[in-house]
Structure 1
Amino acid sequence: MIRTPVSCSLLSAAHDSHGALPAVHTGDAVIDYERFYESVEWMAEQLASCGVTPGSRVGLAIHTGWEFILAWHSLLEVDAVTVPIVLDPRRAPAGSDDIGFVFAHIDQCVEVEDLVEAVAHQSRSRAMYRVADDFVLAALGGPDPVRGEGGLLADLDAGSLDTARQLVAEAEWVAEHDGLHRGARVGLEGDLGTRETMVRILACASAGACVAVDAPFGVPDWGAPAAR
Protein backbone atom coordinates (compact mmCIF):
# COMPACT_ATOMS: atom_id res chain seq x y z
CA MET A 1 0.00 0.00 0.00
CA ILE A 2 1.42 3.39 -1.01
CA ARG A 3 1.62 5.81 1.91
CA THR A 4 0.11 9.23 1.29
CA PRO A 5 2.25 11.92 2.94
CA VAL A 6 0.34 13.83 5.61
CA SER A 7 1.55 17.05 3.97
CA CYS A 8 -0.31 16.06 0.80
CA SER A 9 -3.54 15.76 2.75
CA LEU A 10 -3.17 19.38 3.93
CA LEU A 11 -3.19 20.90 0.45
CA SER A 12 -5.64 18.31 -0.84
CA ALA A 13 -8.04 19.30 1.95
CA ALA A 14 -7.50 22.97 1.07
CA HIS A 15 -8.35 22.14 -2.53
CA ASP A 16 -11.54 20.34 -1.48
CA SER A 17 -12.66 22.96 1.04
CA HIS A 18 -11.43 26.22 -0.49
CA GLY A 19 -11.01 25.39 -4.19
CA ALA A 20 -12.48 28.62 -5.60
CA LEU A 21 -10.77 30.90 -3.08
CA PRO A 22 -7.47 32.68 -3.87
CA ALA A 23 -4.42 30.72 -2.71
CA VAL A 24 -1.54 32.94 -3.88
CA HIS A 25 -1.64 36.59 -4.97
CA THR A 26 1.35 38.28 -6.57
CA GLY A 27 1.45 41.51 -8.55
CA ASP A 28 -1.79 41.65 -10.52
CA ALA A 29 -2.16 37.87 -10.72
CA VAL A 30 -3.94 35.37 -8.50
CA ILE A 31 -4.38 31.60 -8.49
CA ASP A 32 -7.13 29.77 -6.63
CA TYR A 33 -6.64 26.65 -4.51
CA GLU A 34 -7.91 24.31 -7.21
CA ARG A 35 -5.41 25.46 -9.84
CA PHE A 36 -2.63 25.87 -7.30
CA TYR A 37 -3.04 22.28 -6.10
CA GLU A 38 -2.89 21.10 -9.72
CA SER A 39 0.35 23.10 -10.20
CA VAL A 40 1.85 21.60 -7.06
CA GLU A 41 0.94 18.06 -8.13
CA TRP A 42 2.49 18.66 -11.56
CA MET A 43 5.67 20.03 -10.03
CA ALA A 44 5.88 17.15 -7.56
CA GLU A 45 5.54 14.63 -10.39
CA GLN A 46 8.41 16.29 -12.25
CA LEU A 47 10.60 16.31 -9.15
CA ALA A 48 9.90 12.61 -8.61
CA SER A 49 10.75 11.86 -12.25
CA CYS A 50 14.14 13.56 -11.68
CA GLY A 51 14.94 11.24 -8.80
CA VAL A 52 13.60 13.03 -5.71
CA THR A 53 12.21 10.35 -3.40
CA PRO A 54 10.55 10.44 0.04
CA GLY A 55 13.17 11.60 2.54
CA SER A 56 15.51 13.11 -0.06
CA ARG A 57 17.22 16.24 1.27
CA VAL A 58 16.65 19.09 -1.17
CA GLY A 59 18.43 22.41 -0.76
CA LEU A 60 15.89 25.13 -1.61
CA ALA A 61 17.77 28.15 -2.95
CA ILE A 62 14.66 30.26 -3.65
CA HIS A 63 13.74 32.57 -0.79
CA THR A 64 11.10 34.97 -2.10
CA GLY A 65 8.10 35.27 -4.37
CA TRP A 66 5.36 32.97 -5.58
CA GLU A 67 8.06 30.57 -6.76
CA PHE A 68 8.98 29.89 -3.15
CA ILE A 69 5.37 29.12 -2.22
CA LEU A 70 5.05 26.70 -5.13
CA ALA A 71 8.42 25.07 -4.45
CA TRP A 72 7.79 24.62 -0.71
CA HIS A 73 4.41 22.98 -1.22
CA SER A 74 5.77 20.83 -4.07
CA LEU A 75 8.66 19.52 -2.00
CA LEU A 76 6.24 18.59 0.78
CA GLU A 77 3.96 16.95 -1.79
CA VAL A 78 6.78 14.69 -2.96
CA ASP A 79 7.65 14.06 0.72
CA ALA A 80 11.17 15.48 0.49
CA VAL A 81 13.10 17.11 3.33
CA THR A 82 13.39 20.81 2.48
CA VAL A 83 16.66 22.51 3.46
CA PRO A 84 16.68 26.30 2.88
CA ILE A 85 20.14 27.30 1.57
CA VAL A 86 21.87 30.42 0.28
CA LEU A 87 23.88 30.10 -2.92
CA ASP A 88 27.27 31.72 -2.32
CA PRO A 89 29.63 31.74 -5.35
CA ARG A 90 32.61 31.79 -2.96
CA ARG A 91 31.82 28.58 -1.11
CA ALA A 92 29.41 25.68 -0.89
CA PRO A 93 26.68 25.87 1.76
CA ALA A 94 27.58 24.43 5.14
CA GLY A 95 26.52 20.80 5.31
CA SER A 96 26.11 20.48 1.54
CA ASP A 97 27.63 16.98 1.75
CA ASP A 98 24.29 15.83 3.19
CA ILE A 99 22.15 17.43 0.46
CA GLY A 100 21.11 15.23 -2.44
CA PHE A 101 19.56 17.95 -4.63
CA VAL A 102 19.45 21.70 -5.07
CA PHE A 103 16.21 23.31 -6.26
CA ALA A 104 16.36 26.86 -7.65
CA HIS A 105 14.84 29.32 -10.10
CA ILE A 106 16.14 29.14 -13.64
CA ASP A 107 17.65 32.63 -13.21
CA GLN A 108 19.92 31.10 -10.54
CA CYS A 109 21.28 28.49 -12.92
CA VAL A 110 24.82 29.92 -12.98
CA GLU A 111 25.03 29.85 -9.17
CA VAL A 112 23.72 26.29 -9.15
CA GLU A 113 26.34 25.24 -11.69
CA ASP A 114 29.03 26.81 -9.51
CA LEU A 115 27.75 24.81 -6.54
CA VAL A 116 27.79 21.59 -8.54
CA GLU A 117 31.42 22.22 -9.46
CA ALA A 118 32.30 23.07 -5.84
CA VAL A 119 31.04 19.72 -4.55
CA ALA A 120 31.96 17.65 -7.61
CA HIS A 121 34.72 15.73 -5.84
CA GLN A 122 32.24 14.59 -3.20
CA SER A 123 29.49 13.49 -5.57
CA ARG A 124 28.75 10.02 -6.82
CA SER A 125 26.91 11.45 -9.82
CA ARG A 126 25.77 14.83 -11.09
CA ALA A 127 22.92 15.98 -13.29
CA MET A 128 20.86 19.11 -13.87
CA TYR A 129 17.21 19.16 -14.91
CA ARG A 130 14.82 21.82 -16.13
CA VAL A 131 11.66 21.57 -14.07
CA ALA A 132 8.29 23.17 -14.89
CA ASP A 133 9.92 25.74 -17.21
CA ASP A 134 10.89 28.21 -14.47
CA PHE A 135 12.98 25.98 -12.19
CA VAL A 136 16.20 23.98 -12.19
CA LEU A 137 17.02 20.89 -10.13
CA ALA A 138 20.61 19.77 -9.61
CA ALA A 139 21.28 16.22 -8.44
CA LEU A 140 24.46 16.26 -6.34
CA GLY A 141 24.70 12.53 -5.78
CA GLY A 142 24.40 12.90 -2.02
CA PRO A 143 23.68 10.13 0.47
CA ASP A 144 20.52 8.07 0.34
CA PRO A 145 17.63 9.26 2.54
CA VAL A 146 17.98 8.34 6.20
CA ARG A 147 14.25 7.64 6.32
CA GLY A 148 11.42 7.89 3.82
CA GLU A 149 9.71 10.85 5.44
CA GLY A 150 9.57 14.48 4.41
CA GLY A 151 9.75 17.63 6.46
CA LEU A 152 11.91 20.68 7.09
CA LEU A 153 15.53 21.01 8.14
CA ALA A 154 15.63 24.73 8.92
CA ASP A 155 19.14 24.57 10.43
CA LEU A 156 21.40 22.16 8.60
CA ASP A 157 24.22 22.57 11.12
CA ALA A 158 21.97 21.74 14.07
CA GLY A 159 20.42 18.87 12.15
CA SER A 160 17.01 19.10 13.84
CA LEU A 161 14.34 17.71 11.52
CA ASP A 162 10.71 18.78 11.78
CA THR A 163 8.64 16.06 10.13
CA ALA A 164 5.77 16.93 7.82
CA ARG A 165 3.33 15.61 10.40
CA GLN A 166 4.76 17.94 13.05
CA LEU A 167 4.70 20.91 10.67
CA VAL A 168 1.09 20.35 9.63
CA ALA A 169 -0.04 19.99 13.24
CA GLU A 170 1.77 23.21 14.16
CA ALA A 171 0.34 25.00 11.11
CA GLU A 172 -3.20 24.02 12.11
CA TRP A 173 -2.54 25.37 15.62
CA VAL A 174 -1.13 28.63 14.21
CA ALA A 175 -4.17 29.07 11.95
CA GLU A 176 -6.49 28.72 14.92
CA HIS A 177 -4.36 30.69 17.39
CA ASP A 178 -3.82 33.63 15.00
CA GLY A 179 -7.41 33.70 13.88
CA LEU A 180 -6.71 33.05 10.21
CA HIS A 181 -9.95 32.63 8.29
CA ARG A 182 -11.13 31.62 4.83
CA GLY A 183 -10.45 34.30 2.27
CA ALA A 184 -8.11 36.34 4.48
CA ARG A 185 -5.16 37.99 2.73
CA VAL A 186 -1.82 37.41 4.43
CA GLY A 187 1.08 39.50 3.16
CA LEU A 188 4.54 37.97 3.44
CA GLU A 189 7.72 39.91 2.74
CA GLY A 190 11.48 39.42 2.98
CA ASP A 191 13.11 36.03 3.35
CA LEU A 192 10.36 33.40 3.21
CA GLY A 193 12.81 30.59 3.94
CA THR A 194 12.59 30.87 7.71
CA ARG A 195 10.93 28.21 9.80
CA GLU A 196 8.32 30.61 11.20
CA THR A 197 7.29 31.86 7.76
CA MET A 198 7.25 28.40 6.21
CA VAL A 199 4.88 27.18 8.93
CA ARG A 200 2.73 30.28 8.40
CA ILE A 201 2.46 29.44 4.69
CA LEU A 202 1.10 26.03 5.66
CA ALA A 203 -1.24 27.67 8.16
CA CYS A 204 -2.71 29.78 5.36
CA ALA A 205 -3.45 26.63 3.37
CA SER A 206 -5.04 25.05 6.42
CA ALA A 207 -7.33 28.05 6.94
CA GLY A 208 -8.04 28.79 3.26
CA ALA A 209 -6.27 32.16 3.46
CA CYS A 210 -4.48 33.78 0.52
CA VAL A 211 -0.72 34.32 0.67
CA ALA A 212 0.32 37.64 -0.92
CA VAL A 213 3.96 37.84 -2.01
CA ASP A 214 6.18 39.78 -4.39
CA ALA A 215 7.32 38.59 -7.81
CA PRO A 216 11.11 39.09 -8.03
CA PHE A 217 11.43 36.85 -11.09
CA GLY A 218 8.30 38.18 -12.82
CA VAL A 219 4.52 37.92 -12.50
CA PRO A 220 3.08 34.54 -13.56
CA ASP A 221 0.38 34.19 -16.17
CA TRP A 222 -2.45 33.39 -13.75
CA GLY A 223 -4.98 35.89 -15.02
CA ALA A 224 -6.68 38.73 -13.18
CA PRO A 225 -7.29 38.68 -9.42
CA ALA A 226 -10.59 37.32 -8.21
CA ALA A 227 -13.05 39.78 -6.72
CA ARG A 228 -12.46 40.41 -3.04
Structure 2
Amino acid sequence: MSRTVRVASAVVAAAATFPDRAAISDGDCLHDYASLSDAVQYFSADLVEAGVLPGARVGIYVGSGYEALLAVLAVEQIAAVAAPLDISAAPEFTRRQIADIGIDHLIGHREHEHLVVDVADEMDAFGPTMTSIAGDYTLARSGRGPLAPGSSGGAVFGLRNGAGLLEVSSEALMSAAHEMRADIGTTPDDVVAVTEPLTTRVVLTSCLATLLAGACLSVRRHGGANPVRVAEQLDCDEASILLCSNDRLAALRSAGVQAHRSLRVLELAQERFGADHQDGCGPDGGERRYGTTLLPESAVPVCYSRDPGPWLCSR
Protein backbone atom coordinates (compact mmCIF):
# COMPACT_ATOMS: atom_id res chain seq x y z
CA MET A 1 0.00 0.00 0.00
CA SER A 2 1.50 3.35 -1.06
CA ARG A 3 2.11 6.00 1.59
CA THR A 4 0.78 9.51 1.07
CA VAL A 5 3.55 12.05 0.51
CA ARG A 6 2.61 15.19 2.39
CA VAL A 7 3.41 18.75 1.40
CA ALA A 8 4.47 19.52 4.96
CA SER A 9 6.81 16.52 4.96
CA ALA A 10 8.38 17.73 1.71
CA VAL A 11 9.01 21.14 3.31
CA VAL A 12 10.55 19.44 6.35
CA ALA A 13 12.75 17.37 4.03
CA ALA A 14 13.84 20.54 2.21
CA ALA A 15 15.16 21.84 5.53
CA ALA A 16 17.66 19.01 5.62
CA THR A 17 19.08 20.18 2.28
CA PHE A 18 19.27 23.93 2.96
CA PRO A 19 18.56 24.52 6.68
CA ASP A 20 20.02 28.04 6.83
CA ARG A 21 18.38 29.36 3.67
CA ALA A 22 15.63 31.96 4.12
CA ALA A 23 12.21 30.33 3.77
CA ILE A 24 9.67 33.00 4.76
CA SER A 25 9.90 36.74 5.29
CA ASP A 26 6.87 38.24 7.00
CA GLY A 27 8.08 41.80 7.41
CA ASP A 28 8.96 41.33 11.08
CA CYS A 29 11.06 38.15 11.01
CA LEU A 30 13.04 36.07 8.55
CA HIS A 31 12.39 32.36 9.10
CA ASP A 32 14.93 29.91 7.68
CA TYR A 33 14.00 26.40 6.52
CA ALA A 34 15.29 24.77 9.71
CA SER A 35 13.13 26.95 11.97
CA LEU A 36 10.11 26.46 9.67
CA SER A 37 10.59 22.68 9.83
CA ASP A 38 10.84 22.76 13.62
CA ALA A 39 7.74 24.95 13.88
CA VAL A 40 5.67 22.63 11.66
CA GLN A 41 6.64 19.56 13.67
CA TYR A 42 6.01 21.28 17.00
CA PHE A 43 2.62 22.58 15.86
CA SER A 44 1.51 19.24 14.38
CA ALA A 45 2.51 17.39 17.57
CA ASP A 46 0.41 19.82 19.61
CA LEU A 47 -2.57 19.23 17.32
CA VAL A 48 -2.31 15.47 17.83
CA GLU A 49 -1.99 15.91 21.60
CA ALA A 50 -5.09 18.14 21.53
CA GLY A 51 -7.07 15.33 19.91
CA VAL A 52 -7.24 16.47 16.29
CA LEU A 53 -7.68 13.27 14.26
CA PRO A 54 -6.91 12.40 10.63
CA GLY A 55 -9.82 13.48 8.49
CA ALA A 56 -10.84 16.33 10.80
CA ARG A 57 -11.82 19.54 9.01
CA VAL A 58 -9.82 22.30 10.64
CA GLY A 59 -10.60 25.95 9.95
CA ILE A 60 -7.54 28.22 9.74
CA TYR A 61 -8.84 31.57 10.98
CA VAL A 62 -5.52 33.33 11.34
CA GLY A 63 -4.90 35.86 8.55
CA SER A 64 -2.65 35.74 5.51
CA GLY A 65 0.96 35.63 6.70
CA TYR A 66 3.47 33.21 8.18
CA GLU A 67 1.16 32.21 11.04
CA ALA A 68 -1.57 31.12 8.62
CA LEU A 69 0.76 29.11 6.38
CA LEU A 70 2.34 27.40 9.39
CA ALA A 71 -1.11 26.32 10.62
CA VAL A 72 -2.05 24.95 7.17
CA LEU A 73 1.16 22.91 6.97
CA ALA A 74 0.72 21.52 10.48
CA VAL A 75 -2.87 20.46 9.81
CA GLU A 76 -1.97 18.82 6.50
CA GLN A 77 0.96 17.03 8.16
CA ILE A 78 -1.36 15.04 10.47
CA ALA A 79 -3.67 13.98 7.59
CA ALA A 80 -6.40 16.42 8.56
CA VAL A 81 -8.08 18.78 6.09
CA ALA A 82 -7.15 22.47 6.32
CA ALA A 83 -9.89 25.00 5.55
CA PRO A 84 -8.35 28.48 5.20
CA LEU A 85 -10.86 31.19 6.17
CA ASP A 86 -10.74 34.92 5.51
CA ILE A 87 -10.36 36.69 8.84
CA SER A 88 -11.51 39.96 7.25
CA ALA A 89 -14.86 38.51 6.15
CA ALA A 90 -18.06 39.35 7.99
CA PRO A 91 -18.64 37.00 10.98
CA GLU A 92 -21.99 35.82 9.59
CA PHE A 93 -20.29 34.77 6.34
CA THR A 94 -17.60 32.88 8.28
CA ARG A 95 -20.23 31.12 10.40
CA ARG A 96 -21.93 29.96 7.21
CA GLN A 97 -18.60 28.69 5.86
CA ILE A 98 -17.97 26.77 9.08
CA ALA A 99 -21.37 25.08 8.77
CA ASP A 100 -21.09 24.37 5.03
CA ILE A 101 -17.57 22.92 5.22
CA GLY A 102 -18.38 20.93 8.35
CA ILE A 103 -15.50 22.37 10.35
CA ASP A 104 -15.05 20.62 13.69
CA HIS A 105 -11.90 22.44 14.85
CA LEU A 106 -11.00 26.12 14.45
CA ILE A 107 -7.49 27.54 14.81
CA GLY A 108 -7.00 31.22 15.59
CA HIS A 109 -4.07 33.35 16.69
CA ARG A 110 -4.20 34.33 20.36
CA GLU A 111 -4.36 38.04 19.55
CA HIS A 112 -7.55 37.32 17.57
CA GLU A 113 -9.11 34.99 20.15
CA HIS A 114 -12.16 37.24 20.43
CA LEU A 115 -12.84 36.69 16.71
CA VAL A 116 -12.61 32.91 17.17
CA VAL A 117 -15.08 33.04 20.04
CA ASP A 118 -17.41 35.16 17.90
CA VAL A 119 -17.72 32.58 15.11
CA ALA A 120 -16.96 29.24 16.81
CA ASP A 121 -20.43 28.67 18.27
CA GLU A 122 -21.49 27.46 14.81
CA MET A 123 -19.46 24.28 15.40
CA ASP A 124 -21.33 23.10 18.48
CA ALA A 125 -24.76 23.92 19.89
CA PHE A 126 -23.35 23.60 23.42
CA GLY A 127 -20.39 25.85 22.71
CA PRO A 128 -16.90 24.80 21.65
CA THR A 129 -14.03 23.82 23.94
CA MET A 130 -11.18 26.34 23.78
CA THR A 131 -7.54 25.50 24.45
CA SER A 132 -4.11 27.00 23.75
CA ILE A 133 -1.75 25.19 21.38
CA ALA A 134 1.69 25.76 19.84
CA GLY A 135 2.34 28.76 22.05
CA ASP A 136 0.60 31.49 20.08
CA TYR A 137 -2.60 29.81 18.87
CA THR A 138 -6.09 29.03 20.14
CA LEU A 139 -7.92 25.82 19.17
CA ALA A 140 -11.71 25.66 19.37
CA ARG A 141 -13.07 22.10 19.30
CA SER A 142 -16.58 20.82 18.76
CA GLY A 143 -17.96 17.78 20.54
CA ARG A 144 -18.44 15.75 17.37
CA GLY A 145 -15.83 13.63 15.64
CA PRO A 146 -14.41 14.26 12.16
CA LEU A 147 -16.80 13.89 9.23
CA ALA A 148 -14.27 11.87 7.24
CA PRO A 149 -12.16 9.80 9.67
CA GLY A 150 -9.17 8.16 8.03
CA SER A 151 -8.94 10.79 5.29
CA SER A 152 -5.57 11.26 3.63
CA GLY A 153 -5.74 14.98 4.37
CA GLY A 154 -5.42 18.03 2.18
CA ALA A 155 -7.36 21.29 2.02
CA VAL A 156 -10.87 22.54 1.28
CA PHE A 157 -11.73 25.97 -0.14
CA GLY A 158 -14.91 27.96 -0.59
CA LEU A 159 -15.27 29.36 -4.12
CA ARG A 160 -16.24 32.91 -4.98
CA ASN A 161 -19.80 34.09 -4.45
CA GLY A 162 -21.02 30.76 -3.12
CA ALA A 163 -20.32 28.57 -6.13
CA GLY A 164 -19.50 25.58 -3.95
CA LEU A 165 -16.64 23.90 -2.13
CA LEU A 166 -13.43 22.52 -3.57
CA GLU A 167 -11.64 19.78 -1.65
CA VAL A 168 -8.08 18.98 -2.74
CA SER A 169 -6.08 15.98 -1.50
CA SER A 170 -2.49 16.16 -0.28
CA GLU A 171 -1.40 14.31 -3.43
CA ALA A 172 -3.14 16.86 -5.66
CA LEU A 173 -1.60 19.77 -3.75
CA MET A 174 1.86 18.26 -4.17
CA SER A 175 1.31 17.63 -7.87
CA ALA A 176 0.02 21.15 -8.52
CA ALA A 177 2.87 22.75 -6.55
CA HIS A 178 5.53 20.80 -8.45
CA GLU A 179 3.86 21.66 -11.77
CA MET A 180 3.70 25.37 -10.94
CA ARG A 181 7.29 25.38 -9.73
CA ALA A 182 8.47 23.88 -13.02
CA ASP A 183 6.25 26.14 -15.13
CA ILE A 184 7.37 29.35 -13.44
CA GLY A 185 10.99 28.25 -13.28
CA THR A 186 11.39 29.25 -9.63
CA THR A 187 14.97 28.91 -8.38
CA PRO A 188 16.43 28.92 -4.86
CA ASP A 189 17.66 32.46 -5.53
CA ASP A 190 14.15 33.86 -6.05
CA VAL A 191 12.14 35.87 -3.55
CA VAL A 192 8.45 35.33 -4.30
CA ALA A 193 6.07 37.99 -2.97
CA VAL A 194 2.44 36.97 -2.38
CA THR A 195 -0.14 39.70 -1.77
CA GLU A 196 -3.24 37.54 -1.38
CA PRO A 197 -4.71 35.75 1.65
CA LEU A 198 -4.25 31.97 1.74
CA THR A 199 -7.92 31.29 1.09
CA THR A 200 -7.79 29.94 -2.47
CA ARG A 201 -6.11 26.89 -3.97
CA VAL A 202 -4.08 28.90 -6.48
CA VAL A 203 -2.55 31.11 -3.76
CA LEU A 204 -1.76 28.18 -1.46
CA THR A 205 -0.31 26.25 -4.41
CA SER A 206 1.96 29.16 -5.31
CA CYS A 207 3.24 29.38 -1.71
CA LEU A 208 3.94 25.64 -1.62
CA ALA A 209 5.65 25.77 -5.02
CA THR A 210 7.98 28.47 -3.68
CA LEU A 211 8.96 26.41 -0.64
CA LEU A 212 9.47 23.23 -2.67
CA ALA A 213 11.92 25.18 -4.84
CA GLY A 214 13.95 26.28 -1.82
CA ALA A 215 13.15 29.92 -2.59
CA CYS A 216 12.13 32.62 -0.10
CA LEU A 217 8.43 33.38 0.29
CA SER A 218 7.53 36.99 1.07
CA VAL A 219 4.16 37.26 2.84
CA ARG A 220 2.45 39.67 5.20
CA ARG A 221 -0.04 39.04 7.98
CA HIS A 222 -2.40 41.64 6.56
CA GLY A 223 -3.04 41.19 2.84
CA GLY A 224 -1.82 43.57 0.18
CA ALA A 225 -4.97 45.61 -0.32
CA ASN A 226 -2.97 48.80 0.19
CA PRO A 227 -0.70 49.50 -2.82
CA VAL A 228 1.73 51.39 -0.58
CA ARG A 229 2.18 48.26 1.57
CA VAL A 230 2.76 46.16 -1.54
CA ALA A 231 5.40 48.60 -2.76
CA GLU A 232 7.14 48.43 0.64
CA GLN A 233 6.98 44.62 0.58
CA LEU A 234 8.54 44.43 -2.89
CA ASP A 235 11.29 46.85 -1.96
CA CYS A 236 12.06 45.54 1.54
CA ASP A 237 12.26 41.87 0.51
CA GLU A 238 13.84 42.58 -2.90
CA ALA A 239 11.22 40.40 -4.60
CA SER A 240 12.04 38.85 -7.96
CA ILE A 241 8.54 37.39 -8.56
CA LEU A 242 5.18 38.88 -7.62
CA LEU A 243 2.03 36.75 -7.37
CA CYS A 244 -1.23 38.69 -7.19
CA SER A 245 -4.85 38.50 -8.29
CA ASN A 246 -6.42 40.18 -11.30
CA ASP A 247 -8.13 42.74 -9.05
CA ARG A 248 -4.97 43.49 -7.08
CA LEU A 249 -3.00 43.91 -10.29
CA ALA A 250 -5.48 46.52 -11.54
CA ALA A 251 -5.24 48.39 -8.23
CA LEU A 252 -1.44 48.43 -8.40
CA ARG A 253 -1.54 49.71 -11.95
CA SER A 254 -3.92 52.49 -11.00
CA ALA A 255 -1.80 53.48 -8.00
CA GLY A 256 1.36 53.70 -10.12
CA VAL A 257 3.35 51.39 -7.85
CA GLN A 258 6.99 51.24 -8.89
CA ALA A 259 9.09 48.11 -9.20
CA HIS A 260 12.44 47.03 -10.56
CA ARG A 261 12.54 46.01 -14.22
CA SER A 262 13.72 42.53 -13.24
CA LEU A 263 10.49 41.77 -11.37
CA ARG A 264 8.45 38.97 -12.94
CA VAL A 265 4.69 38.98 -12.46
CA LEU A 266 2.36 36.02 -12.15
CA GLU A 267 -1.29 37.04 -12.41
CA LEU A 268 -3.48 34.65 -10.42
CA ALA A 269 -6.95 34.13 -11.83
CA GLN A 270 -9.86 34.19 -9.38
CA GLU A 271 -11.02 30.63 -8.81
CA ARG A 272 -14.52 29.98 -10.01
CA PHE A 273 -16.86 27.16 -10.96
CA GLY A 274 -15.38 25.89 -14.23
CA ALA A 275 -14.41 27.90 -17.28
CA ASP A 276 -17.90 28.33 -18.71
CA HIS A 277 -19.93 29.13 -15.59
CA GLN A 278 -20.45 32.43 -13.85
CA ASP A 279 -19.74 32.75 -10.15
CA GLY A 280 -22.63 31.58 -8.03
CA CYS A 281 -24.27 29.57 -10.80
CA GLY A 282 -24.39 25.83 -11.35
CA PRO A 283 -24.16 24.00 -14.69
CA ASP A 284 -27.84 24.74 -15.32
CA GLY A 285 -27.34 28.46 -14.63
CA GLY A 286 -29.39 28.34 -11.43
CA GLU A 287 -28.33 30.12 -8.28
CA ARG A 288 -26.57 28.06 -5.63
CA ARG A 289 -26.20 28.77 -1.94
CA TYR A 290 -22.67 28.75 -0.57
CA GLY A 291 -21.34 25.27 0.10
CA THR A 292 -24.19 23.24 -1.37
CA THR A 293 -21.89 21.65 -3.94
CA LEU A 294 -18.60 19.83 -3.37
CA LEU A 295 -16.76 20.09 -6.66
CA PRO A 296 -14.11 17.70 -7.97
CA GLU A 297 -10.57 19.03 -8.29
CA SER A 298 -10.80 19.04 -12.09
CA ALA A 299 -13.81 21.40 -12.05
CA VAL A 300 -11.68 24.34 -10.95
CA PRO A 301 -8.30 24.42 -12.67
CA VAL A 302 -5.35 26.27 -11.15
CA CYS A 303 -5.22 29.31 -13.45
CA TYR A 304 -2.50 31.92 -13.77
CA SER A 305 -0.72 33.78 -16.54
CA ARG A 306 2.89 34.86 -16.83
CA ASP A 307 4.06 38.30 -17.95
CA PRO A 308 0.57 39.85 -18.27
CA GLY A 309 1.97 43.01 -19.84
CA PRO A 310 3.07 46.42 -18.60
CA TRP A 311 1.55 47.13 -15.24
CA LEU A 312 4.02 48.88 -12.96
CA CYS A 313 6.02 52.03 -13.45
CA SER A 314 9.54 50.69 -13.98
CA ARG A 315 12.40 52.25 -12.09
Q: Same fold (TM over 0.5)?
A: yes
Q: 5 Å matches for 1:140-179?
A: 140-146=142-148, 147-155=150-158, 158-179=164-185
- 2:140 — aligned with what? 138
2:158 partner SS: coil
Q: 5 Å matches for 1:178-193?
A: 178-193=184-199
1:31 partner SS: strand
- 2:11 — aligned with what? 11
- 2:119 — aligned with what? 115
Partners of 2:139 and 2:182 lie apart in 1 by 35
Partners of 2:57 and 2:6 lie apart in 1 by 18
- 2:108 — aligned with what? 104
- Report the alpha carbon displacement of residue 110 of structure 1 after superposing the two structures with TM: 1.1
- Report if the CA contact (8 A) 1:101-1:142 is conserved: no
TM-superposition CA deviations, 1:60-104 (whole Å, max 9, x none): 112312111211211121221011224543462335261110111
Flag structure 1 segments of 5+ consecutive residues without an equivalent.
217-224
* Aligned positions, number: 214
Cα RMSD after superposing both structures: 2.4
Partners of 1:86 and 1:185 lie apart in 2 by 25
- Say if 1:57 and 1:132 are closer, same or farther in 2 by CA, change over 3 A: same
- Report if the CA contact (8 A) 1:63-1:193 is conserved: no
Partners of 1:67 and 1:133 lie apart in 2 by 12
Partners of 1:196 and 1:151 lie apart in 2 by 14
- Report the alpha carbon displacement of residue 28 of structure 1 after superposing the two structures with TM: 4.6
1:201 partner SS: helix
- Report the alpha carbon displacement of residue 213 of structure 1 after superposing the two structures with TM: 1.4
- Say if 1:45 and 1:5 are closer, same or farther in 2 by CA, change over 3 A: farther
Partners of 1:36 and 1:135 lie apart in 2 by 16
- Say if 1:27 and 1:85 are closer, same or farther in 2 by CA, change over 3 A: closer
- 2:40 — aligned with what? 40
Flag structure 2 segments of 5+ consecutive residues without an equivalent.
223-236, 238-315
- Report if the CA contact (8 A) 1:43-1:131 is conserved: yes
Larger Cα-atom Rg: 2
TM-superposition CA deviations, 1:172-213 (whole Å, max 9, x none): 110010011113111111322221110111101110011111
TM-score by length of 1: 0.84
Partners of 2:130 and 2:170 lie apart in 1 by 27
1:141 partner SS: coil
Report the AA paired with residue 170 of structure 1: A
- 2:96 — aligned with what? 93
Partners of 1:18 and 1:86 lie apart in 2 by 32
- Report if the CA contact (8 A) 1:5-1:79 is conserved: no
- Say if 1:119 and 1:74 are closer, same or farther in 2 by CA, change over 3 A: closer
- Report the alpha carbon displacement of residue 114 of structure 1 after superposing the two structures with TM: 2.1
Are 2:64 and 1:64 aligned? yes
- Say if 1:144 and 1:190 are closer, same or farther in 2 by CA, change over 3 A: closer
- Report the alpha carbon displacement of residue 16 of structure 1 after superposing the two structures with TM: 2.1
- Report if the CA contact (8 A) 2:61-2:108 is conserved: yes
Q: Percent identity?
A: 26
83-92 vs 10-19, which deviates more?
A: 83-92
Moved over 4 A (4+): none
- Say if 1:28 and 1:165 are closer, same or farther in 2 by CA, change over 3 A: same
TM-score by length of 2: 0.62
Partners of 1:93 and 1:86 lie apart in 2 by 12
Partners of 2:4 and 2:62 lie apart in 1 by 26
- Report the alpha carbon displacement of residue 118 of structure 1 after superposing the two structures with TM: 4.1
Higher RCO (CA < 8 A, seq sep 6+):
1
- Report if the CA contact (8 A) 1:26-1:212 is conserved: yes
Partners of 2:123 and 2:55 lie apart in 1 by 21
- Say if 1:160 and 1:16 are closer, same or farther in 2 by CA, change over 3 A: same
